[in-house]
């Protein structure tokens, strides 16, 4: 079997992207599940900032989000059995600083079991150039 992953794009504008992702597990660990693929949106993007993350995890597993790159770069750890909103808008978001970045955001799980679930709503600011320019 394979985990069931549902992605719903809520907003895909020229500067902002909001995507809801729901994962229902069959017990298979995720090691690099692409939650966001920058090339799939209009306009596509490589440069971005994670402005806000709402998530709800049910089950005794942990997870982390990563920017895809060489190597992948951790963004944030997600705690078991938690529903929370993390907001970084006041600091300009968590900027993608991975080397050889693609714009993609990945999910990795640890200790996931059959029937465990995770719902994430990612608020992303698309950038037209790297931070600091």
What does the pLDDT read at residue 2?
87
What does the pLDDT read at residue 127?
85
Q: What are phi and psi of 91, to 5 degrees?
A: -110, 10
Per-run averaged pLDDT (10 residues), the chain, 133 residues: 93 97 97 96 95 97 96 96 96 95 96 97 88 56
What does the pLDDT read at residue 131?
62
Closest CA to 35 of 2, 9, 16: 9
Yes or no: say if 4 and 23 are a contact pair by the CB < 8 Å rule: yes
Closest CA to 117 of 20, 22, 2: 22
What does the pLDDT read at residue 1?
63
Yes or no: say if 80 and 133 are a contact pair by the CB < 8 Å rule: no
Question: Exposed e or buried b for every residue in 38-76, given b needs 16+ CB within 10 A?
Answer: bebbeeebbbbbbbbbbbbbebebbbebbbbbeebeebe
Closest CA to 78 of 87, 86, 70: 86
């Amino acid at each position: 079997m394979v985990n069931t992953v549902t992605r719903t794009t809520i907003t895909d504008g020229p500067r902002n992207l909001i995507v809801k992702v729901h994962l229902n597990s069959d017990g298979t660990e995720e090691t690099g599940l692409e939650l966001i693929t920058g090339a799939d949106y209009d306009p596509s993007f490589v440069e971005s900032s994670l402005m806000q993350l709402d998530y709800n995890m049910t089950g005794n597993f942990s997870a982390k989000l990563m920017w895809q790159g060489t190597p992948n770069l951790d963004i944030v750890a997600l705690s078991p059995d938690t529903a929370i909103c993390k907001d970084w808008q006041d600091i300009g978001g968590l900027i993608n600083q991975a080397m050889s970045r693609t714009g993609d955001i990945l999910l990795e799980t640890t200790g996931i079991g059959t029937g465990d679930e995770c719902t994430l709503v990612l608020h992303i600011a698309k950038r037209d150039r790297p931070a600091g320019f």
